[in-house]
Every structure is written in structure tokens, then in C-alpha cells.
Amino acid sequence: MLNGLDHIGIAVADLEQAVPLWLKITGGKLVHREIVASQKVEVAVIEIGSLHVELLRGVSDDSPIAKFIAARGAGIHHIALRSTAAQEELDRLKQTGVRLIDETVRTGAEDSRVGFIHPKSVEGVLLEVVEPGHK
Amino acid sequence: MLNGLDHIGIAVADLEQAVPLWLKITGGKLVHREIVASQKVEVAVIEIGSLHVELLRGVSDDSPIAKFIAARGAGIHHIALRSTAAQEELDRLKQTGVRLIDETVRTGAEDSRVGFIHPKSVEGVLLEVVEPGHK
């Protein structure tokens, strides 16, 4: 089951520019920063009230974020929905004929379990299923 | 001040296809449907836990949503942040040098007051400021 929003992911070219820009515009605060090697991204999390925005920079040219920016420019990249059981959720989606990028969960930021649904199955929207880490 | 997320806006070509697709994938429910004449869109709101996703269909070829789809395809269109005083927020942003699409609030869905920030000021992200309606 999907319980609501975990975060919104934004592709940015340069975190040193994007973080202060987002803080200025939204009045939010920077609450986390991490390199997620498995996804080849550096993440900066901006908290705006109860909303978490993940600013994402590709750490290599073959990172999905770098490819996205090369193809479409910086901008909104994905919507991450929260689940208490990400693998079960991916299994359920696959059974209903939804195309997945990840059929098996992998490790995301803050020790979460994550999997992406293919945008071809969601009319151009990249959705991520996130099971928060149990720290 | 911006207090968190109001909704995420998604540009779709056809609501009759997109609404059942989103309900199937997310397990959410359809909670509102409206034509917003001032923005030339038909809106269907999907509730997923505490998240509201607005599926947006342009009602004419010169609608911003129709132009977005023609240029980039269907997909995530904007992030709407909630404010208790949308006009004050737009004034604050303008004073700090942020480029606005709407310097004056206009009427959005469910009798809200809304204004858009120009994506050139947010590195390609279209942000909306929303003051919910006082019904």
C-alpha cells in the first residue's frame, strides 16, 4: 500500500547553487546531505514544513540524473511515494501489468529501500516507491 | 511563509485514461473534479494518504497545459507550496529578485488564491504558491 508522499526529487546541475536558491525561495532548511553510490547521485534534502525536496546531482556522466539533465534540462525528476513494504508493493504492481525499472528493491538515501516504476506505465511520470530505513 | 506541499500538478492528455491509471497504481481515491476556467484546465484530484495529486488536462490548445504537453509530453508539471498569505509571499519573492509569472494572485481550484513563480528563477522547476480557499 502507498501511504502518501515521501519526497519530490529535483534534478540539478550544481548543488552549491541549487541549495541556497531553494532555501531563499522556500524559507526551508537543509536537513541532510549524502552521496548515494548505488544511484550515482549526491542528494541534498530541503525541508519545507512537512515536505521533503531532494535536490539530486549526478556524480558521473552515466548517472540517470546527468542523462536526464542532458536530455531535458534541470527540473522535477520524480515523485517518491511511501510504503511500509516496498518489495510487496513492487510485486503487486508487476502483477497488475505495470512496467518496473526495479523489480527488486535497492538501497536509497538514509538506508531506505527503493524501487522505480517505469514512466511509460504512468504517462510520463517517474514514480519511486520508498520504504524508509529502520535506523 | 511557505508551509509545505499543497499538491503536485501532473499534465495529462486524457483524464478518462489518467484517473483510473493513477487509482490503480497508487490505490488512492478521486476526491475532486473541476474545470478552472481562468487557467483553461480540467482538474481531477487524487488523494494518496495525505498527498494530493492534481491531474490537469488543457481544455483548449492555448492552455498552458496543452502547450506543455505539445513541447515536452505528458508528465510532472508543477509543485504547489501552501501559504497562509499568497499575495504577501509573491511580494516577498519579487522583492528578493525572483521572477514571477503572476505578480498578483488569481483564483485557482476550490476557490484558492494562486500565483506561479517563473521556472527560470527555480532552475527549471515550476512552483505555485497556493492559499487555500476559505469555504
Q: What are the pLDDT digits (tens) for A26-68?
A: 999 999 999 988 889 999 999 999 999 999 999 999 999 999 9
Alpha helices in A8-135 (DSSP H): 15-26, 64-72, 86-95
Average pLDDT value for residue range B60-88? 96
- Report pTM: 0.95
Instruction: Nearest by CB to A93, from B10, B25, B73: name it.
Output: B25
Which chain B residues are within 8 Å of A3, Cβ to Cβ? 48-49
Q: Which domain holds residue A14?
A: 2-131
Average pLDDT value for residue range A107-120? 92
For the domain that residue B118 is a member of, what is the CATH number?
A: 3.10.180.10
Provide the pLDDT for residue B135.
58
When divided into structural domains, chain B yields a total of: 1
Average pLDDT value for residue range B51-73? 95
Q: How many CB atoms lie within 10 A of CB A99?
A: 13
Residue A135 in this model has a pLDDT that exceeds 80? no
Interface test with A, best of B81, B125, B128 (most A CBs within 10 A): B125
